[in-house]
Structure 1
Amino acid sequence: MGLTGVAWAVGGRIPRRVGDGLARVLSAPLALLPLPGVEAWADTVATATGRRPGLRRRRRLLENWLRNTLWSLSLERWSDADVLAVADIPDVDVVGLRESLAGPGLVLALPHMGSWDLAGAWCARVGIKVVSVAERLPDGLFERFRDARAAMGMDIYAVDQPDLMRLLARDVADRRVVCLLSDRDLSSRGVAVAWPRGGARLSVPAGAALLARRTGADLRVVSTRFDGARLRIRVSAPVRGDTLEAVLTGMVAGFAAAVEDSPEDWLMLRRAFA
């Protein structure tokens, strides 16, 4: 078993409250170190918000990153009550999700903020069927991740799944919500979109917008952030646009608003802007 497999096996057995405490304790000394990922995040946040984060936000970033990692490893063992107790989502946002699902269909675009896995687990717990896409990790880790999410009611395709867009379009038609992380391009086929503040360009995957346009589904932005012991989930109004570029611009504007509000929850440990 490789190091990642060991981390999965051990981290998945740490109770949530213990893991949250570890994240708080470990984040303070880690924030004092010149960690490359944290320095890259600080550069990215400075570009995104016009303000370079200080030590307090660095510590919060590391706490949030550790919490997200431990939650993702252990979520398959959480009870329904645990998921519902942690998730905080306004009633009006729930209504919007259900209206889109009952009407044209629903595609959700998410940034790497807070705990996107917990947001998916919440959907599954309230009867919303979730489909997503993940990298094909080595050493059997993708299959372990896929099976763990399936146990929670979430179906995961590999990013290299043949005929992926057709399968996702079928899922939209079958009234499943397709959730796609959309603030980081892992290929060479991303679209460069201007960030609302400062004009820097962020390369993003176009999949969520393309799928929504192909199926006629509503595209909404979902962002999450940690707030004490809870995770706040917020859902945007449908993103509209006559062209793919316009839809992607609206999507990125949704990401920017969430980052402006809580940059320490944007777990972008790399330089994101061109």
Structure 2
Amino acid sequence: MKERLVDAAYAAGWGLVKSLPEGLARKAFQSGADLAARRNGSGPQQLRRNLARVVPGAGPQELDDLVQQSLRSYARYWKETFRLPNTRAEVIAERMNEHVTGRENIDEGLERGKGVVIALPHTGNFDASGIWVAQNYGRFTTVAERLKPESLYERFLAYRRSLGFEVLPLTGGETSPYRVMVERLKENGIICLVADRDLTKMGVPVTFFGEETRMPVGPARLAASTGASLMVVDNLFVGDGWGARFHSPRLVESRAHVQAATQALADSYAKDISEHPADWHMLQKLWLADLSDARREALG
């Protein structure tokens, strides 16, 4: 029953929200964010703990304000998720052009002929950044977790494919997504992966804002296996539009360097997040210190 209700809610979002006037939609999502801040449920509470690491000198009132701003930013992301299909992709990419830096890093990576792996945190609106990449470089490849119910997963699959993305299921596909991504890189393609949280045995330990956590090994491992350039993109909200900063690429010489490369990604994420912490949408537990003893032991 709960899964059907969630699916129905998302269906209503794509059906109703995109038909609302922009001002009304903005006000409704902002009001929802403010209500969530006042109710202070488990998500906002964890967000506060996470942001306290990002801005360690913040007092209680500053943290309260930052949590509210972050929830508003997160609400904006979801409002845009439901409304982006209303705007032609080429228009979105054109609006972003003056707020995109580091494009030469992608160009240089592709000139090497071994593809580019772009890793990103949960900042801003990464779908907008994806639209810009797709419009300027053709289709790129990413991976999506298989949500429940299946109908909800299919909605997100259709949504992101409509934006010009090739989306591979993390599990349950006909072939391994890793194998497909290796093939795309051999074809000098682009891979984009959200990679700032992986609290599983597959994640590798890193230090992030001075504390231990785990992050996905996939981006660095792909770069090591194929010779692809590895870089970070910072997704930005710029006024009522978007921007992106593509940072200098690095090469991962071998699998022996994957750990160090993943730590370098974490350091780059931390620098960007510190500059605009309200636009980092991390309402889940991230650091190992926040996990139960049993959960930490299970990670090994």
Q: How does the TM-score come out when normalised to structure 2?
A: 0.83
Summarize the Cα distance change of 1:273–1:158 in structure 2 as closer, same or farther, 3 Å threshold: same
Q: What displacement does 1:81 show? A: 4.7
User: Could you tell me which amino acid in structure 1 is paired with residue 22 of structure 2?
Assistant: R
Question: Could you say which residue in structure 2 is the equivalent of 1:23?
Answer: 29
Asked whether 1:75 is paired with 2:88, we answer no
**Count of residues in Structure 1 that have an aligned counterpart in Structure 2:** 272
Contact 2:101–2:245 (CA<8 Å) still a contact in 1?
no
Could you tell me which of 259, 263, 271 is aligned with 1:245?
Answer: 259
Q: Structure 1 residue 166 and structure 2 residue 179: aligned? A: yes
The offset of 1:169, in angstroms, is 0.7
RMSD: 2.2
1:120 matched to 2:130: yes
How far the C-alpha of 1:73 sits from its partner, in A, is 3.1
Corresponding residue of 1:145: 156
Please identify, of 81-90 and 256-265, the stretch whose mean Cα deviation from structure 2 is larger: 81-90
Other-structure match for 1:188: 201
Structure 1 residue 61 corresponds to structure 2 residue 70: yes
Question: Does residue 10 of the first structure (1) align with residue 12 of the second (2)?
Answer: yes
**Structure number with larger C-alpha Rg:** 2
2:126 is matched by which residue type in structure 1? W
Structure 1 residues 186 and 271, CA, compared in 2 at 3 Å: closer, same or farther?
A: closer
* Partner in structure 2 of residue 102 of structure 1: 111
Instruction: Return the offset for 1:85.
Output: 5.1
SS, match of residue 137 in structure 2: coil
**Quick one: distance in 2 between partners of 1:234 and 1:109?**
12
Inter-CA distance 49–241: structure 2 relative to 1 (3 Å threshold): farther
**Which letter maps to 2:8?**
V
Q: Percent identity?
A: 25
The answer on whether the counterparts of 1:88 and 1:231 sit within 8 Å (CA) in structure 2 is: no
Pairwise CA distance, 1:48? 3.2
Check 1:217–1:4 CA distance in 2 against 1; reply closer, same or farther (3 A cut): same
Question: Does the Cα contact within 8 Å between 2:221 and 2:258 map onto a contact in 1?
Answer: yes
Q: Which residue of 2 aligns with 1:264?
A: 278
Query: Cα distance 1:89–1:10, how it changes in 2: closer, same or farther (>3 A)?
Result: farther
Partners of 1:72 and 1:118 within 8 A in 2: no
Q: Whole-Å Cα distance in 2 between the matches of residues 17 and 95 of structure 1?
A: 34
Q: Note the C-alpha offset of 1:91.
A: 5.7
* Paired position in structure 2 for 1:213: 224
* Whole-angstrom CA distance in 2 between matches of 1:42 and 1:84: 33
> How far apart, CA to CA, are the structure 2 residues paired with 1:89 and 1:217?
27
Distance (Å, rounded) in 2 between the aligned partners of 1:218 and 1:210 = 11
Q: Distance in 2 between matches of 1:137 and 1:204?
A: 20
Structure 2: gaps (5+ residues): 289-300
**Residues 61 and 265, structure 1, Cα contact 8 Å, conserved in 2:** yes
Judging changes above 3 Å, is the alpha-carbon distance between structure 1 residues 126 and 79 closer, same or farther for their aligned structure 2 residues? same
Structure 1, gaps ≥5 residues long: none
Give the superposition deviation at 1:136: 0.6
Per the TM alignment, residue 60 of structure 1 is displaced from its structure 2 partner at its CA by 1.2
Question: Contact between 2:146 and 2:170, CA under 8 Å: does it hold in 1?
Answer: yes
